Amino acid sequence: MIAQTRLEWFEDEGVYTLTVDYSNPSVGAFKIAHKGQVEAFPFRSKAVNVCVKQGHQFDKNGIAQDDHPLRVQLTFLTDKLLTHQWANTLLDATYAHITTVRQKLFADNPTWKPCFKVPELRFTEAGLAIAQGEASRTKVYMIEEYISGPFKKYIHNCSVQPLPSVQNDTVVIFLAFSQHAQYILSNGLAFVSNYQGMCPLFLHIQI
């Protein structure tokens, strides 16, 4: 019932045709990713190029195999998507807090000006894709907007200190602030970490 309960948290957005290119996978510690395309627009950004991900395990030769049972994939991928949703909520709360503070400062001093422009950032849109067909061959994927170009890592998931290569970057200053704001706004319960991507899009976040 765990997987079924998780599925109920995601809206049914319809049926799409997903094409997956398995020829050049990108293997991480817990997920294997492939390039893909969707025939329509499942995301608000109208992106058709997507990154298709599954949880994986390594075989005895150290080769990644995306052969987790369906139930395991459902549990793993929906947890990743829930993390994605929490990250969006925390980032939205950060921007809302900035707006509130700005309005108060302007009300107190109409000549007040911010010291720098707040970057407009967001996380990739993502969703759960479940293949339709024979139950014995059903596969489930996490799909998200495809980012093409050089990735940059700003803050690691093991530290709140910005990486040395980006310490003077306006974006990383904002991201470091956002972690402090999220920690305070959540009463010390949570903040987003592992900030990486290609500005203004971020992915692979953790809470």
**C-alpha 193 chain-centroid distance:** 11
Structural domain boundaries in the chain: 2-147
Q: What is the pLDDT of residues 16-37, one digit of tens each?
A: 888 889 888 888 778 888 999 9
pLDDT band of 2, cuts 50, 70, 90: very low
Q: Does the domain formed by 2-147 have CATH 3.30.200? A: yes
Q: What is the pLDDT of residues 67-95, one digit of tens each?
A: 677 888 888 899 999 999 999 999 999 99
Report phi then psi at 97, rounded to 5: -65, -40
